[in-house]
Amino acid sequence: MADLLRLLLRVAEKAANVARVCRQEAPLFQLLVQEKTGEDKNKKFVQDFKTLADVVIQEMIRHDVGAQFPEMDGFIHGEESNKFENGLGESVTVTVCRTEEETATLLASVLDGDRTAASLLARAIHRDPATIEANTDGLAVPLSPSELGIWIDPIDATSQYIEGREEVLEEGHLSPSGLHCALVLIGVYLRSTGEPVMGVINQPFNHKDPAGRSWRGKHFWGVSCGSVNVCSVSRPEGGPDGRLSAVLSSSEKPVVKEALTSLCGPDKLIYASGAGYKILCVIQGLADVYVLSEGSTFKWDSCAPHALLRALGGGVVDLKNTLRSTCGAQDHETELTYHQPYTECKGADRWANHGGLVAYRDCSQLRSIVAALKGKL
């Protein structure tokens, strides 16, 4: 497991490099922000570049993990499909090739021959990342790769990534929107039970280096398996006034906002972008809980940060099931799992967290949230 963790930290850093390069290199950035529709649309060009960048990152992770752990091939899933069709009906499967040149040639074929953009992207994919320092010494978990599956979200909070607003993050403060909400999420689950057991989060745009030019990232990881619970973030202390704070999507239902305002007080409700970023806020103690009443997140959004929360003694439950459950909120029956699709649904919806969710560090806080929302949804 320590080998797998080290590899995931490394590929997440590579993914963060690709995400940064797409914003830093002008030929890629132009493609990233332009949205061509109707007459303007180049029929030889694949759907949109944003999706291509996501797919490239996802395939790079799949390629590197599959190369080191062939037993995991077929169990590495992501948000995007790697089959592209352009407006002329031509279909191309985007993969990472053996050499940088081959990858560049393949990418050029979906970028209507834009060799400059294709080469820049291929270089970022094939470049070795900086070494990631993580103290994984002595991390012994009795699991083999053949028991595990992976969920990848190449870039969560894509809208913030594209918009690209730069915020200076203050230690201990939640900043609701901006580039820092964009995260690379890689979660590992147990194939037999669907429990999340390992998570790696890379925040590609954490701060700018002192020279003020390029972005530096930050990474977080956690392992939770049986009696082994290790997290790179130490468990945050409770707030001074003991009142709960909740982070929500700005599009949350009024009834939820009202119930939580009564419970927490209006100053303790915070709104932020990105499903992964909101769970990261709970992990870091910038909020106590993240409540979402809609089924608008997916397995790839929650798997990685869920593993970190479990390592800290918390978790992520299905909100609807928890409200329906007759047992206490501590009952792990309603924790989200990652191995079974909703077979009655199609496409991405097969993997949605349909019942909404509550991410929490502390079971007693989860109980307060459940009590406040009971009978209201």
129 DSSP 8-state letter: P
CA distances from 136 to 6, 130, 312 (A): 8, 17, 16
Among 59, 301, 318, 335, binds ligand 2IP (CB under 6 A): 301
Of residues 4 and 316, the one with the C-beta less far from ligand 2IP: 316
99 residue type, one letter: T
β-partners of residue 377 are none
- Residue 25 CB neighbours (<10 A): 18
Of residues 80 and 114, the one with the C-beta less far from ligand 2IP: 80
| Touching ligand 2IP, residues 257-296 (CB under 6 A) | 273-275, 296
Of residues 296 and 325, the one with the C-beta less far from Ca ion: 296
Burial class (CB in 10 A: 0-12, 13-18, 19+), 270: middle
Tokens of 30: 């132009």
Q: Which residue is nearest to ligand 2IP (CB)?
A: 249
Of residues 245 and 273, the one with the C-beta less far from ligand 2IP: 273
Q: How far is the CB of 338 from ligand 2IP (least distance, A)?
A: 15
- Asked whether position 302 contacts ligand 2IP by CB under 6 A, the answer is no
Among Ca ion, ligand 2IP, none, residue 297 binds (CB under 5-8 Å by kind)? ligand 2IP
Q: How far is the CB of 176 from Ca ion (least distance, A)?
A: 17
Please report, as ranges, the residues that interact with Ca ion according to CB under 5 A. Answer: 153, 156, 301
| Touching ligand 2IP, residues 144-163 (CB under 6 A) | 153, 156-158
CA distances from 195 to 200, 270, 334 (A): 15, 29, 11
- Outline where DSSP puts E strands in 100-245: 148-156, 183-190, 196-208, 215-225, 228-231
- Outline where DSSP puts E strands in the chain: 76-78, 83-85, 91-93, 148-156, 183-190, 196-208, 215-225, 228-231, 246-248, 269-271, 289-292, 315-318, 357-360
Q: How far is the CB of 2 from ligand 2IP (least distance, A)?
A: 29
Q: How far is the CB of 62 from ligand 2IP (least distance, A)?
A: 17
Among ligand 2IP, Ca ion, none, residue 274 binds (CB under 5-8 Å by kind)? ligand 2IP
Tokens of 249: 């999507």
Among 17, 175, 245, 249, binds ligand 2IP (CB under 6 A): 249
Of residues 252 and 301, the one with the C-beta less far from Ca ion: 301
Of residues 156 and 335, the one with the C-beta less far from Ca ion: 156
Q: How far is the CB of 183 from ligand 2IP (least distance, A)?
A: 8
Residues that are catalytic: 54, 79, 153, 155-156, 158, 301
Tokens of 163: 């918009």
Q: How far is the CB of 109 from ligand 2IP (least distance, A)?
A: 26
- Asked whether position 297 contacts ligand 2IP by CB under 6 A, the answer is yes
Burial letters 115-138, b for 16+ CB under 10 A, else e:
eebbbbbbbbbbeebeebebeeee
CA 199 to CA 76: how far, in whole Å?
14
Binding site for ligand 2IP (CB under 6 A): 153, 156-158, 249, 251, 273-275, 296-298, 301
